[in-house]
Structure 1
């Protein structure tokens, strides 16, 4: 297993530990900060594994499938953890997670038809803004950061919808040629 794939696996393994600190009092008052550091490190591995894979020509089928899955697990777990804390509305999380299921379904249908659907820039922007939103919401500095958090929530939501429309528009042939 190459380094980018190892980073992806590490990111996936970090998700339950992150959730543990988000939803329990195991670390006491440090929980929020431990969870924040775990999320930031896991998010950085997302950037790092892709950069290493592309620069060293280490792109694999495992990485193409598992890297986006690891991102979805991390981001969705974080957003779900923010709901009971009152930092993120459930309907927003439902919209964002629904988009992830729809795109994953598209990718599965496309894969069966021998078509690879690469991540778009809209999807990458969406992920970056979702991660920034989560970081600001977990940190919960208050004051102006509450406003920044709300702005990031809306930007992430809008980019989620735009990236969904973009994927469907660019890959509509998957539905018609993919046997649906």
Structure 2
């Protein structure tokens, strides 16, 4: 039986997403966030570019499931791509003064801790199923970052202020879901950590 190639359409899309992250960052650094003096087309480009990056996560998932081509390589690479998109964009927002360092700390700490737990219990042949909290966490984070970037394109006024307020609040919700999903994962996996103690 011929061995299946890891280069399925879904995995190709995931690899493209990873390659586009540094390109997005360069574009974002060059364009910057609008200063509010007038509508900023460069800032709009940054926001739309990020939205496209976010949506490719849905695309590769759809391709993998619809074509029945879910692979181990894809399961490994897709979460990495998601984390890369989120962490790089939060670093950019922090640099621009549009996000708190606490947001980045909680997101990165959660990923390190959960990844460490996964690796540890995987050595015992155990796979802890991810809950829907993880999906909600990712979706809320992507939407909030997209909204903050989009708000930066508008001129100063009620619309810009309202958008920043709304999506900053949504980012807080995303951080809460991030912490909650991490706690949930540890609650499910902790018994495998301590069972040999």
**TM-score, structure 1 length as denominator?**
0.90
- Give runs of aligned pairs for residues 74-93 of structure 1, distance below 5 A: 74-93=85-104
| Aligned equivalent of 1:16 | 22
Contact 1:21 1:32 in 2 (8 A): no
Give the C-alpha shift of residue 10 in structure 1. Answer: 0.7
How many residues are treated as equivalent by the alignment? Answer: 178
- Give runs of aligned pairs for residues 63-78 of structure 1, distance below 5 A: 63-78=74-89
- Give runs of aligned pairs for residues 160-179 of structure 1, distance below 5 A: 160-177=178-195
CA distance in 2, matches of 1:32, 1:91: 24
**What per-residue deviation string (whole Å, max 9, x for no partner) do you get for residues 113-169 of structure 1?**
222234320011000010011001111241311221121121011101110111011
Question: Out of 67, 70, 77, which is 1:59 matched to?
Answer: 70
CA distance in 2, matches of 1:170, 1:63: 24
CA distance in 1, matches of 2:65, 2:17: 18
Gapped regions of structure 1 (runs ≥ 5): none
CA distance in 1, matches of 2:113, 2:43: 31
| Aligned equivalent of 2:4 | none
Gapped regions of structure 2 (runs ≥ 5): 1-6, 35-39, 155-159
1:102 lines up with 2:113 in the alignment: yes
Contact 1:8 1:67 in 2 (8 A): yes
| Aligned equivalent of 1:143 | 161
**What per-residue deviation string (whole Å, max 9, x for no partner) do you get for residues 23-75 of structure 1?**
2349x964422322221111111011112212322111101110000000001
Contact 2:121 2:192 in 1 (8 A): yes
RMSD: 1.9
Q: Which has the higher contact order (CA 8 A, sep 6+)?
A: 2
| Aligned equivalent of 1:5 | 11
| Aligned equivalent of 2:157 | none
Shifted more, 103-112 versus 127-136: the winner is 103-112
Bigger Cα Rg: 2
- Runs of 4+ deviating beyond 6 Å: none
**TM-score, structure 2 length as denominator?**
0.83
